[in-house]
Structure 1
């Protein structure tokens, strides 16, 4: 009793027809999941932060704290 020879002709094409759609579907699902679980909440957080952000108020607070070497606080 001997083992049958493996079929090698067309093996790559046969495997690709099976694995390529699965890989494409998984990558698409991962991209959609990343978009809605990471990027959308991040965009909302940035929009919420910058909705009432005052750059001059922040600058003056850092200047008063002595963060900048080229700017002196207004009291000196």
Structure 2
């Protein structure tokens, strides 16, 4: 019976190598999620707020007040 020697499993620095791989993956995924949130949610929201506040609503309010739409203001 001939037995060939099996290679020893790597035990030294095994945790460090696995952590390096998973930390790099986690950083890449988190950056992708942050970028997609920024361009998918935050930018359209900023644009919507800017468009809303661009119009001066005081003129519309005065016209509606003169037309008698509001009963609590004179």
TM-score (norm 2): 0.65
The structure 2 residue matched to 1:21, chosen from 24, 35, 39, is: 24
Alignment match, 1:69:
none
Partners of 2:22 and 2:39 in 1: how far apart?
Answer: 26
1:6 CA drift (Å): 5.6
- Which moves more between the two structures, 37-46 or 8-17? 8-17
| Contiguous gaps of at least 5 residues in structure 2 | 1-6
Q: How many residues align?
A: 65
Residue 57 of structure 2: which of 54, 59, 70 is its match? 54
Query: CA-atom RMSD, angstroms?
Result: 3.1
Regions of 4+ moved over 3 Å: 4-9
Task: Provide the TM-score with structure 1 as the length reference.
Answer: 0.63
SS at match of 1:50: helix
